[in-house]
Amino acid sequence: MKRETEQKKSEEIKKQNVRAIASQVIDEVLSSGKKLKECVDKKAELFKDERDRALLKEICYGVLRNLPIIDFSIDLFLKNEIKEFDKIGLSIMRVGSYQILFLDRIPAFAAVNECVNSAKILKKDALTGVVNTILRKISLNKEEILQIHYKKPYEESLSYKYGMPLWLVKRYLKRFGDVESEKILDSFNKESPTSILFFTMEDYLNSKRILEREKFQLEENDLFELTYFVKGRDITKSECFEKGVFYVCDPASQLPAKSLPLKENSFSLDPCAAPGTKTIVISKNLKKNSFLISSDFSKWRVKRLIENKVRYNLNNVFLVYGDILNSLPFKDKFYSVLLDAPCTSLGTLKKNPEIRWQIDEERIKKESKRQLEMLLSVAKCVEKGGFLLYSVCSIEKEETLDVIENFLKENKDFEKAKLEIDKKFKDVFDLIDKGTLMVKPYQHKGDAFFISLLRRKIGKKD
Ligand X SMILES: C[S@@+](CC[C@H](N)C(=O)[O-])C[C@H]1O[C@@H](n2cnc3c(N)ncnc32)[C@H](O)[C@@H]1O
Could you list the residues that contact ligand X (CB under 6 A)?
272-278, 296-298, 301, 323-325, 340, 342
Angle between helices 67-77 and 50-65 (to 10 degrees): 80
For ligand X, which is the closer residue by CB, 134 or 281?
281
Residues 457 and 180: their CA atoms lie apart, in Å, by: 37
Residue pair 227/250 in contact (Cβ under 8 Å)? The answer is no
For ligand X, which is the closer residue by CB, 232 or 342?
342
Q: Write down the least CB distance from residue 324 to ligand X, Å.
A: 4
Residue pair 354/328 in contact (Cβ under 8 Å)? The answer is no
**What letter does residue 228 receive in the DSSP assignment?**
E
Query: Sign of the CA dihedral 84, 88, 91, 97?
Result: negative
Q: Write down the least CB distance from residue 274 to ligand X, Å.
A: 4
What is the side-by-side strand order in the sheet with 227-231? Answer: 217-220, 227-231, 194-198, 246-248
Residues 229 and 222: their CA atoms lie apart, in Å, by: 10
Q: Write down the least CB distance from residue 341 to ligand X, Å.
A: 6
Residues 316 and 285: their CA atoms lie apart, in Å, by: 10
Closest CA to 119 of 143, 80, 88: 88
Q: Write down the least CB distance from residue 201 to ligand X, Å.
A: 23
Residue pair 446/252 in contact (Cβ under 8 Å)? The answer is yes
Residue 2's identity, in one-letter code, is K
For ligand X, which is the closer residue by CB, 114 or 340?
340
Q: Write down the least CB distance from residue 330 to ligand X, Å.
A: 13
For ligand X, which is the closer residue by CB, 53 or 278?
278
Closest CA to 247 of 212, 284, 289: 284
For ligand X, which is the closer residue by CB, 172 or 449?
449
Residue pair 403/393 in contact (Cβ under 8 Å)? The answer is no
Q: Write down the least CB distance from residue 328 to ligand X, Å.
A: 9
For ligand X, which is the closer residue by CB, 18 or 274?
274
Q: Write down the least CB distance from residue 97 to ligand X, Å.
A: 34
Q: Write down the least CB distance from residue 367 to ligand X, Å.
A: 11
For ligand X, which is the closer residue by CB, 301 or 384?
301
Q: Write down the least CB distance from residue 215 to ligand X, Å.
A: 28
CA distances from 111 to 11, 63, 81, 87 (A): 21, 14, 24, 19
Closest CA to 293 of 276, 312, 313: 276
Largest Cα–Cα distance of the chain, in whole Å? 85
For ligand X, which is the closer residue by CB, 91 or 452?
452
For ligand X, which is the closer residue by CB, 252 or 273?
273
